Structure 1
Amino acid sequence: MSIELSHDPRVVDLAERTARFVREVVVPEEERHGGVAAAGGEELRLRLQAAARQAGLFAPHVSPEYGGHGLDMRGRAAVFEEAGWSLFGPLALNVAAPDEGNMHLLEAVASDAQKERYLRPLATGEVRSCFAMTEPAPGAGSDPAALTTRATKVSGGWRIDGRKWFITGADGAAFAICMARTSGEPGDRGGATMFLVEADNPGMKVVRHIDTLDESLYGGHCEMVFDDCVVPDEAVLGEVDEGYAYAQVRLGPARMTHCMRWLGIARRAQHIALSRADERRLFGSRLGDLGMVQGMIADSEIDIAAARALTLQACWELDQGRSGAQSTSIAKTFTAEAVWRVVDRAVQICGSLGISGDILLGRFLREVRPFRIYDGPSETHRWAIARRALRRNAQA
């Protein structure tokens, strides 16, 4: 298996211009305000996206038909990592979760009419969206088959009833892609369908923001209720009962784009730590001359390089049309834990400065910790990785 690690000149140029844009335009906003809400919320989003559009960097993942650059997964890896240097960077380029994953899903599954109605305004940044799959226990979470939200056929459409939570971006989203059970019972591996539900539907309500460690994912993590939520037949995304198959279209690439973005933050944290180690003097020498500090710096360099390589391998498999189930699980698990280690080491190297509000490392630490849970907890991925390995060995 031969995997090309270098990028073509177009991708390299786009990544380099993204890096300059994020450092010169986006980072100053982040350092001034810290959080998206404090920086202006929707006004900030529109302003940064207008600047990214003017710089020719907007929507690198979307096909040119919808105003993007049409990058494949490997190309996205280079550009998204540079966008991720700032917590605001993905929002500026319109590659933040959940919108980025929803655009990928809509391009792959939606009808032409649905693409015009939902994908085009999402790709241009005119609207935002959310992906409503996760439910409170005992519903769908780490095990999607536990889906309890039910869609019942009615005249001319479907009625959706159920409760969702940890739905990122739900507050202010123009529409939701809702996963509901159309056949079978909770625990069955099939029987789910995706529905496009518009925000003005009286049967869909955001009932609260869930207080969480992280704050950078725009629109919050929300709890939603679908109560007698009636949608027309044309709201079905793809085919009835094929929702779990479509979820794989979205979830594998979305896990990788999370890895790409958080690698940017890991590199930023390492940069802060290196600068501190170079300038701070104690015990008669630079902090960076101390062996224990050098060990932490080296381990972070190794974690970043390994996470990038695993992500690129998984992206290459996805670009080849392979399922990428094993490689994406491996990359997601390793990267989520590696990014945490890198940021945690940076805090330790910076000492009291690292835990202060004078720099953003404490904020980064809070933001990256949930990555080990969302898009599948590390334990769930390890279970799946081991099952596949055992199955492969039994078939050898």
Structure 2
Amino acid sequence: MTANLLEGRVADLRDRMRSFIDDEVVPLEPVLAGHDEESAVALASLKARAKELGLWALGHPEEMGGGGVSFLDFVYLNEIIGRSEYGQLAVGSVSMQDALMIQRHGTAEQKQRWIPDLVSGDILPSVGMTEPEVAGSDPVLVRTTARLDGDEWVINGHKWFTTGARQAGYCTVFARTEPESTPMHHSISAIIVPMDTPGLEIVRSIPTMGHEPSDHYEVRYTDVRVPAENLLGERGNGFVVAQDRLGPGRIFHCMRWLGQAQRAFELMCARANSRFAHGSLLAEKGEIQRYIAESAADIQAARLMTLDAARLMDAGEDARVQIGLIKFRGAKMLHDVVDRAIQVHGALGLTSDTPLEGMYRRARYARIYDGPDEVHRMSTARRILRDPERVPWR
């Protein structure tokens, strides 16, 4: 399967993407981590370079102005893009899910206003779903409200972990718009809110696991008014809009995690082959050999599971079981591989002298965002129990 899918254009794109990510993006990671003027200049330079190399917005459809690479082929590219935390930003794929969401659910005016700037990289999107007062794993608990006042939505609420809010051009806010008597899964709507709208306050960048500033923000909405036509999709249909974004997004996440895990694996092997301790190289010690073998097996298993989920989605089939499996299994794989790589590096692995400490932080995030492991295990098990024929090997 892999050989056939990687022939021709996709194989060439992967090779060129690998060179760009490893040779140009990775060396700039210390600068990009600064979240300052120097990092902004460096990122702008990388974006221009990606466009020059024909690597920009490859997964966006051609009618949007993107590269038109098919879903399944782009999954393979995401594996390379994911080798760097900044890969998505550097090659313009970070806006793909949101551009497709507007393409599918937006009005003609919304598409005209937002999609060209998303594809070009002139603006970035953000999403406001999670709230500190209620469990983010249960989105029906959303408390943020939006009520119609004439021809405007008036939004009040409190969100956090709105990733990229400070740099974004707009936020897709999920808010309760329907009466309490409405069934829970039909009570939430998606509304596009430009970030410069009065009443929208970015409270802070949320420190996470010793990392500050982070790209995750706390945001308050106080009588925020936007036109009624900023509704994205049908009223009360917010969960459908969200799921259309999250399904392929989880596959993209899992492929990028593979890129991170592969890079951590390479660092682990290099360290084992060069570090001498207690009379021999680390590579000669049985416990380190176990780390290498288990990591290789974990990466390959997660990779094949992820590609299988992508194949089903690309064919238009129901891939919910497969996506649920790879979400929690892929997150654990990434965590375990990075953890072993840190252990092989010893104290060095805890420092910012290698990318491993940042990878470990992001691996821990992966077990929570877009649904915690526990929820994905529970929902996937329930689907299988309702229909045992849905197991992947059938």
Does TM, normalized by the shorter one, top 0.5? yes
Q: How well do the aligned residues superpose, as a CA RMSD in angstroms?
A: 2.4
Which of these residues, 282, 287, 311, is aligned with residue 292 of structure 1?
Answer: 287
The amino acid that maps onto 1:114 is Q
**Aligned position for 1:259:** 254
1:70 equivalent in alignment to 2:68: yes
* d(CA) in 1 for partners of 2:390, 2:345: 50
How many aligned residue pairs are there?
390
Q: Cα distance, 1:5 vs. partner?
A: 6.9
**Aligned position for 2:242:** 247
**Aligned position for 2:15:** 16
Q: Cα distance, 1:349 vs. partner?
A: 1.2
**Aligned position for 1:350:** 345
**Aligned position for 1:324:** 319
Runs of at least 5 residues in structure 2 that lack an aligned partner in the other structure: none
Residues 283-304 of structure 1 show CA distances to partners (whole Å, capped at 9, x for unaligned) of 4433212221111001111111
Residues 63-112 of structure 1 show CA distances to partners (whole Å, capped at 9, x for unaligned) of 1222322223321221111111112222101223xx33212312222223
The question of whether the paired residues in 2 share the 8 Å contact of 1:202 and 1:229 is answered with yes
Which of these residues, 56, 59, 66, is aligned with residue 58 of structure 1?
Answer: 56
* d(CA) in 2 for partners of 1:269, 1:291: 19
CA shift in 2, pair 1:287/1:4, >3 Å: closer
SS at match of 1:264: helix
SS at match of 1:189: helix
- Mean CA deviation greater in 218-227 or 298-307: 218-227
**Aligned position for 1:102:** 98
Structure 1 runs, 4 residues or longer, greater than 6 Å off:
2-5
SS at match of 1:68: coil
SS at match of 1:275: helix
CA shift in 2, pair 1:187/1:303, >3 Å: farther
**Aligned position for 2:107:** 111
- Mean CA deviation greater in 377-386 or 353-362: 353-362
The question of whether the paired residues in 1 share the 8 Å contact of 2:5 and 2:73 is answered with no
* d(CA) in 2 for partners of 1:49, 1:8: 27
The amino acid that maps onto 1:105 is M
Q: Cα distance, 1:363 vs. partner?
A: 2.0
**Aligned position for 2:47:** 49
Q: Cα distance, 1:120 vs. partner?
A: 1.1
For normalisation by structure 2, the TM-score amounts to 0.92
**Aligned position for 2:78:** 80
CA shift in 2, pair 1:36/1:387, >3 Å: farther
The question of whether the paired residues in 1 share the 8 Å contact of 2:32 and 2:40 is answered with no
* d(CA) in 2 for partners of 1:87, 1:100: 16
CA shift in 2, pair 1:306/1:394, >3 Å: closer
CA shift in 2, pair 1:358/1:209, >3 Å: closer
* d(CA) in 2 for partners of 1:360, 1:68: 31
Q: Cα distance, 1:188 vs. partner?
A: 1.3
1:164 equivalent in alignment to 2:155: no
* d(CA) in 1 for partners of 2:152, 2:360: 45
Runs of at least 5 residues in structure 1 that lack an aligned partner in the other structure: none
SS at match of 1:390: helix
The amino acid that maps onto 2:124 is R
1:132 equivalent in alignment to 2:128: yes
